Amino acid sequence: MGKNILITGGAGRLARYVAEELKGDNNVTLFDLVTPDSTPTPWETDCKFVLGSLTDLGDCMRAITLSQAEVIIHLGAITHTTDQQPGKKMIQRRPEDTTMQVNVMGTYYLMDAARRIGTVKKVIFASSYYALGLGGRLSGAPYQVDYLPIDEDHPMRPEDTYALSKVLGEEIIEAYCRAYGFKAVAFRLMGVVYPFREFETNVPVPPNPDFKGGPVRTTWQYSDCRDIAYACRLAMEKDLENDFEPFYIVTDSTYPNDTKEVVEKSLPDLKEMAKNIKEGEGLITDAKLRKMLGYKPRHSWR
Ligand SMILES: NC(=O)c1ccc[n+]([C@@H]2O[C@H](COP(=O)([O-])OP(=O)(O)OC[C@H]3O[C@@H](n4cnc5c(N)ncnc54)[C@H](O)[C@@H]3O)[C@@H](O)[C@H]2O)c1
pLDDT value at position 165?
98
Rounded average pLDDT over 167-196 = 95
pLDDT at site 220: 86
Own/partner contacts of 275-281, CB < 8 Å, gap of 24 or more, are 276/147, 276/148, 276/149, 277/148, 277/149, 278/149, 281/149
Q: Is the alpha carbon torsion for 112, 113, 116, 122 positive or negative?
A: negative
Q: Is the pLDDT of residue 146 over 80?
A: yes
Parallel, antiparallel or unpaired: strands 221-224 and 252-253: antiparallel
The CB of 13 under 6 Å from ligand 1? The reply is yes
Domains of the chain and CATH, by start: 4-293 (3.40.50.720)
Mean pLDDT, residues 198-218: 53
Query: For residue 39, which atom of ligand 1 is closest to its CA?
Result: 39
Q: pLDDT averaged over the chain?
A: 91
3-state secondary structure of 117: helix
Q: What percent of the chain has pLDDT over 70?
A: 93
Is 79 close to ligand 1, i.e. is its CB under 6 Å away? Answer: yes
For residue 267, pLDDT beyond 50:
yes
What is the rounded average pLDDT of the residues 131-146?
A: 88
Q: Is the pLDDT of residue 239 over 50?
A: yes
The CB of 106 under 6 Å from ligand 1? The reply is: yes
Distance 80 CA to ligand 1 centre (A): 9
Which string of DSSP letters, residue by residue, matches 80-112? S--S--TT------S-TTHHHIIIIIHHHHHHH
4 in helix, strand or coil?
strand
* Pocket of ligand 1 contains residue 34 by CB under 6 Å: yes
Q: What is the pLDDT of residue 215?
A: 55
Question: Does residue 192 line the site of ligand 1, with CB under 6 A?
Answer: yes
